[in-house]
Structure formats: C-alpha cells, structure tokens
Structure 1
Amino acid sequence: MSSSLPVNRPQETENFGAAPGWRSAVSHADHARSVAVRDSAMVQLGRGSANCDSIRAMGADCSIVRLKSAPRMSGYLVPDPAWAVITMPLGWSGDYVLNGRPVRPGDVNVVTSANGYASTGQDRNILGVGLRAERLRRTIATHLGKPGDEVSPGDCVLELGEAAGARFAQGILSILNATVQAAPGYAVVSSIDEDLLFEHIARTLCLSLPSKHAWDYSASGDLSIVRSAREMITASREVPTLADLCARLNIGQTRLNACFRSVHGMPPARFIRRLQLSRVHKKLTDAQAPPRSVKCVALAHGFTHGGRFAAEYRSVFGELPSETCQKLKKRFT
C-alpha cells in the first residue's frame, strides 16, 4: 500500500549537457512543440532558471522523451484525444505530487482522458511516452483476448514498486538510448522498436490494471473542475476573477479553492498569478515571435503595475524581464 508521506527520491548523477541527443531550451514550451498534446503549461513556483534539458525520439505512433528541470514547478498536460500519455518520475527532490497524491518510486502515470494530469515537484527527471491510443487499445486487447472497443486503460497510477518500476523504465530507456545514439540529431524510432515499445507497455498494463497495484483517480471531480477553470483562464482575453470562475462553473469559492489546493497545491488566485507570470516568461523567450516590449507583454497578461511586476518576475526567474529580453536579442546578434 502507498504511504501518504512525501518520498525523497535520490537524484541520478548524469552530465546531461554532454550526453548524446540532449538539448537545452529556455522554457518547457520549446520542448512541447512536437508533442501530441491538447494543452500544457508549467508554472514556476521556486526561484531559479526556467531552462530545462530534454532528449527525445519520435516514431510513427509514439514519442519518447526525458525531461529534466531544476526549480519547483506545478504543471499540467492534457493529451491530444487520439493519444495516450504515460509518465514516470525517475528522480526528484523533496515531495513529488501527482493530482494531489504523493508519488513513490516505481509509480507510473497513465492518462487517456481530456482531464489530463497535474504534477508539482522540484529537480525533476521525468520519462514520458506518447502512444497512439487506438494502437495501444488494440495491443492490450490482443493480450487480453478481447475486442479493441472493450478495452480502455483509463486514467490511473500503476504502483509497480521500485524494482518492477526500474525494469519497466529500463525497457523504455533502452529503446530511447539506442535510437538517439544511432541518430542524435533527429532520432526516429524504428518500426521494430515501436512494436517492442507497445508490447512492453501493454504487457505491464495488463498485469497491473486488474489488481490492487493500480490507483484510479478518474472518479475525483477535482481534476475536472480545475481543468475547466484553466480552460476558461486560457480562453479569456482578460484574467477572470474567482467570482467569474465560480459563476461559470456553478460552484462556490470554497469548493474552487479546495480543488486547486488538491490538484496544484495552492489556492486558485496564486496559481493564476504564477501561471500568468510563467506565460510572460514564455513570451519574452519566444525566438519565433520576439515580443515588441516588456510592457506590452505584461499588460496583456494582467500586470498593470510595472515596478511590482518586475520585482515579482525577478523573485521567480532570478532576473528582470528586461534582462530576459536582452538575452533573447543576443541570440540573434
């Protein structure tokens, strides 16, 4: 049985910058451009650089990625409806929380619905796999001897335990590492390795889902409410008030507050503020669409007091927004 106590997961010692295939970026958004997701964001909570390192390989029906970041962050991901997402933390510091529940070594997160998932942690070293959902269902159905339309892994956490979890991760990492070593610049998973990947994951799901070793979080309404609130925030031209969110969701502020604390570990007002701040950083570091000015970006995200905004930005990212812009300009000169 899983404990409710946070677990300190020892960090792996690895020189990410020197390893073949690893690349750095100034934000998580740079790594997410080629991933089959409907919506995702990372909200930085702790002070530090937003830079992160990743290594990835793509196949016809899959993607494999490892992602490493240092500051404490709370993020969320909603997969494309045609895709399933499987994530597994390989290392972290302090507590790592998934959908309001502390993660333990060997836990594997399976996501297939529009609610996606949310996680909070520091010094993350994450293994993620995107799989074409229909092919995953067919592969599971073959193992179970059932029609494909009767099979759905749902949204759950597989509690494999540390030893079994390490074997599961190694099966995926061996495919990723071999693919990247063969072609570090543009790693493409071969059809043979893709078959092995689907078989490896389907076999683990078939062994774990019918047993007590899977924790189903789809029954909780908190994740659905928070996802709907985030969608309203994203769709609004102006930052909505808590009263606006409650009215549109038909719930009270106490319920909204409890949902955000459960899923993201903080009240909604603080999450919205940090989300907007992280979106400002994303705009200020976007090399494909450089910002006109810091002021324009800040105002567009609800920051009307320049001095207060600059101080808050520096408290999180360790530099003034103007300094972030200067770094972007230097990349073009």
Structure 2
Amino acid sequence: MTDPLAGLGYVHNRLVRHSAESDAAVPLLTAPGARLVAMAGERIVLANGSALLDPERIAAPGPTLFLGRLDGAPVFAAALAPERAEAFDADPDLATNDLRSLAAEGSVTPHELGLVATAKSLLAWHARNRFCANCGAPTELAAGGYRRDCGSCETHHFPRTDPVVIMLITRGDRCLLGRSPRFKEAMYSCLAGFLEPGETIEAAVRRETFEEVGIRVGAVTYHASQPWPFPASLMIGCVAEALDEAITLDPVELTDARWLTRDDVSAMIVGTHPEGLTVPPPMAIAHLLMRVFVDGTA
C-alpha cells in the first residue's frame, strides 16, 4: 500500500520517546549502542549519510538530552558551538547540513529525519528557556531533557509546540493560493497562520483566511499534519470551502493571491506552468494539499 505521506518531511519517526513523567532511569551517553544527534548551530553533523553518530566520535561538552530509544538503543542530542561546523566539514569522514536541506534532498532516511527534527526542536526550546518564566531564577534540565525545573519556585516547565493551520481554500474546481513576500520569485502556496489561545482549528482557518484575503469560509476538513521544527511548530493541514471569491488582499501578509484551476496547479507541481509559477517542494505539507486537490481526493 502506498504511503499517503511519502515524501513529506519530518512525519516519520521510530523513536520511542522518553517521557517527562517517566520514572525510568536516564542512561549514560557511554551506554552500549548509544547514538548522538549533534547540532553545530543550525547544522546537523553527519557521518556516512547518517545523523546518528557514535558519541565517542564527537566531543559534546555540557549536558546532553536523552531523546528516547531507537531499536532499543539510547539516543541523545547535544548542541555544539556553531563554529565547529567548519571543522566537521573539513573532516573527510564527517559533514554538516541544515534540516531543510536534509528533508528536501532526502539525505537521510525519512524515519531518521523525523528523529532529528525532534532533537532540533528540543534543543531550541532548552536554549530559549534557561530561566523560569514564573520567578526568573535559572532552570535546570530534568527528565532527560523533556522538562526544565526551577529550583527556586519549584515550577516545572515543559517543551512547547506551536500549532499552525495551513489550508487549501477551494471553490468548485479552483483553489486559492497566495504569495508571501518571503517566498522565492513565482512560488505560490497555501494560506497559513498560528492558532490563537482558545481557538478551534476550524475557527483559525476561517479567521486567517478572512484576514489575509477577505474570503469567508464554510466547511473545514482536516487532512494531515506535519511537525515543522523551525523551531517547534505543528502544521495542521486542512481543506476548506470558500463561500465567496472576491479577494481583498492584506498587503502586509501577501504580495498576491489568486484562484487557480486544477490544470494550473498540476502544471505548477511539475514545473510547466506557462507563467513559470511554482509550488513548495514535496517535503512541505502545502505540496501534499495541492496534490490531493489535483487528484480530486481533497
């Protein structure tokens, strides 16, 4: 059976995660079979096409995070100084790459890519949460890295994930795609925005669509989700039906938005659109939503 999420980045992950509430002892980095995910700044260190390294190969100063187990072996993560990337790239047995490129190029297996995304998001959270949001005192790593504890006020802090709705707006045999000022030239994608406190997924889809293009939305259907480790979001992919079609553009959010037919989107996906319009790469959930629209399975 064909995997409907094949090609989508960061969604496959065989890691048996350690729990912030687990009483199980955290193993040592020197445990038999242990593997380490090492990040030098924003670059992942690779050896022989894998981001799962022998800890003895990489000197990792300071505390490491215990992510969990892969095939029974403990897996850790560590943040290294950004300047070390240059030395790794000069080593004939090592290399570095950024996480977007790893996904776009398929440089590591899909399951390993998801594991590395977990490591990146957790490391980024620890870097931003060294002090207690309740009292301001320094916090300490706990539960192997799935928690930080404040020794002053005894507050427990847990890693956060930021939910983002990303939606393909349809009306009959057309869909609405937009261009952000951050996009490369001629690329169009689905509308997206952060879910706000106290808001349902459906309400966020309707609000963001109206704010960005002035279009009212009726039915909203969930399709798939994707971890997006930049630094720690969850993309919630939806298909939504437009109740009208007149576009009122928010120029701060978008430089353009337009209705496109299935034939238009199909040509954009394969790179043959007469205007040179393109879409995000297959590793992005926007690409998946466009494909299911073209296939008529949205």
Shorter-chain TM-score: which interval? under 0.3
TM-score of the pair, normalised by structure 1:
0.23
Which has the larger share of helix? 1
Which has the larger share of strand? 2
Structure number with larger C-alpha Rg: 2
